[in-house]
Amino acid sequence: MSRELYPKQFHVLAGSHTMLQETVMRLRGLDCESPLVICNEEHRFIAAEQLRQIGEDGATILLEPVGRNTAPAIALASLYASRSGEDPLLLVLAADLLIRQEDRFHESVGKAISLAEGGKLVAFGIVPDRPETGYSYIRRGASLGKDGFVIEKFEEKPDRKTAVAYVKDGGCYWNSGMFLFRASVYLNELKRFQPAVLEACEPAIGAIEQDMDFVRIDAGKFRTSPAISIDYAVMEKTGAAAMVPLDAGWNDIGSWSALWDIQERDGEGNALAGDVLALDSKNTLVRAESRLVATVGVENMVIVETKDAVLVAHKDHAQNVKGVVDRIRKLDRQEHINHREVYRPWGHYDSIDFGERDQVKRITVKPGAKLSIQMHHHRAEHWVVVRGTAKVQKGNETIMLSENQSTYIPLGEVHALENPGKIPLELIEVQSGSYLGEDDIVRFDDRYGRK
């Protein structure tokens, strides 16, 4: 499900919204500004569209040209939020976590605010309900009144025996990766313990450019930053670290077995999503995206079907899916990069058939959206409208097409496609030629700023 160009935070895994949307919606009821989203360059249009869908058009999307882990990312946010001379409190949330009980989450944030206003760097420690070897831990120290504790020590991911001891101890919590602090406090501690990060991020933010909904930084400057987590850079070194316990149904959904744990299940313990028939099957997760999936006589399995791949695994081995991804990379395949259905700022397309010299796509264009003015050196295209209205530019000619009408774009002809209507435009595109790669696009003009 999670691909390089469409990772976990953009999927609907629990509930009716994506994990990014759930994270932002979780802020409702708190007294806070519009969110600042730090996003990889490749994910910018997906993030913007998902924020728009939940009415968060005013969110700022700050683009990272390269990944440098959490310490530099949070430094960018701190510098950007402070650029007008203010010194705000920052609530730092990963966009791929599940929190079931929002009232308890809000309560813990309230406690963290009082500590952060006093100069603390506050981490949220998850009250553990089982021994867990996949998480790092926070060991609490002295009490800070009714609101939280001093952090005595950060513990690395333990073995099973140590994890059991941590849970029995009662003073150890899972490290959630969520924080609250004043921007200036974080930046001062970063300058003290990891100055190279700040030396890269300050000039990067000093050269910001606005690009539509996005804020771009100086890529060259940012690339000089060390790649380091906030834990290693600051939290494990500072004397200002504090912790607030959080018991709110937190889950990082780090594996398919973890998702089975939290989903609603039938009388046989099966968690089913999509078009699924389960016969004589128990304690199994089945997710069908595009077709009927039937199971007979299976138990403790994970079965996930997408348009281009199927996973079948025992629940006890579900975390080893990383090994499958490694094998896919070594074989120089493409399934780890993207799904068959690919999202663009104007909509999306689904490559429904692919031959040696031909390809068929189903293209959906959002109302008011327009693809770039472009041409191809190696392929011709035939478009058939199946729903909505298409405005087509072919050389110096502009035509309108409605349902069941078509047009042909010869190799080398400059063309563009636009949806002037109020409903999504859907069309079938048949490509033919000697090379059908997505990089055979020469753009002359693009309203989305793509090269």
pLDDT tens sequence across 228-250? 999 999 999 999 999 999 999 99
pLDDT one-digit tens code per residue, 7-16: 999 999 988 9
Q: Is the pLDDT of residue 451 over 80?
A: no
Any idea which fold 8-251 has? Spore Coat Polysaccharide Biosynthesis Protein SpsA; Chain A (3.90.550)
Q: pLDDT band at 29, cuts 50/70/90? A: very high
Tokens read off for 297: 């006589």
The three-point CA angle 240-245-248 to 5° equals 140
Q: Which region holds residue 170: left if phi is over 0, alpha if psi is between -120 and 50, else beta?
A: left
Does the structural domain 341-445 have CATH classification 3.40.640.10? Answer: no
Q: pLDDT band at 443, cuts 50/70/90? A: very high
* C-alpha span between 251 and 145 (Å, rounded): 27
- Residue 71 has a pLDDT of 98
pLDDT one-digit tens code per residue, 115-141: 999 999 999 999 999 998 889 999 999
Q: Is the pLDDT of residue 73 over 90?
A: yes
Handedness of CA 16, 20, 26, 30 (dihedral sign): negative
If you average pLDDT over residues 348-372, what whole number do you get? 95
Predicted structure pTM score: 0.89
Query: What's the burial of 319, exposed, middle or buried (CB within 10 Å: 0-12/13-18/19+)?
Result: middle
If you average pLDDT over residues 79-92, what whole number do you get? 95
Tokens read off for 373: 């003015």
- Residue 99 has a pLDDT of 95
- Residue 193 has a pLDDT of 98
Task: Give the C-alpha distances (Å, rounded to integers) separating 366 from 24, 151, 347.
Answer: 24, 50, 5
If you average pLDDT over residues 66-78, what whole number do you get? 97
If you average pLDDT over residues 22-32, what whole number do you get? 95
**Same CATH fold, 341-445 and 8-251?**
no
Beta bridge partners of 60: 36
Q: What is the mean pLDDT of the chain?
A: 95
- Residue 58 has a pLDDT of 86
Q: pLDDT band at 253, cuts 50/70/90? A: confident
If you average pLDDT over residues 64-84, what whole number do you get? 96
Q: Is the pLDDT of residue 270 over 90?
A: yes
If you average pLDDT over residues 184-202, what whole number do you get? 98
- Residue 258 has a pLDDT of 86
If you average pLDDT over residues 369-379, what whole number do you get? 97
- Residue 168 has a pLDDT of 92
Helices (H) and strands (E) in the chain, counts: 11, 29
Q: Is the pLDDT of residue 281 over 80?
A: yes
- Residue 376 has a pLDDT of 97
- Residue 211 has a pLDDT of 85
pLDDT one-digit tens code per residue, 402-425: 999 999 999 999 999 999 999 999
CB 365: neighbour CB atoms within 10 A?
24
If you average pLDDT over residues 334-360, what whole number do you get? 92
- Residue 255 has a pLDDT of 85
Q: What ranges do the domains of the chain cover?
A: 8-251, 256-328, 341-445
CB 209: neighbour CB atoms within 10 A?
10
Tokens read off for 416: 């563009």
- Residue 302 has a pLDDT of 97
Roughly how many angstroms between the first and final C-alpha of the chain, as a whole number?
28
* C-alpha span between 235 and 189 (Å, rounded): 9
The three-point CA angle 293-296-301 to 5° equals 75
If you average pLDDT over residues 139-148, what whole number do you get? 94
If you average pLDDT over residues 155-161, what whole number do you get? 93
Q: Is the pLDDT of residue 68 over 90?
A: yes
- Residue 144 has a pLDDT of 96
Percent of all residues in the chain with a pLDDT value above 70, rounded to a whole number = 100
If you average pLDDT over residues 276-305, what whole number do you get? 97
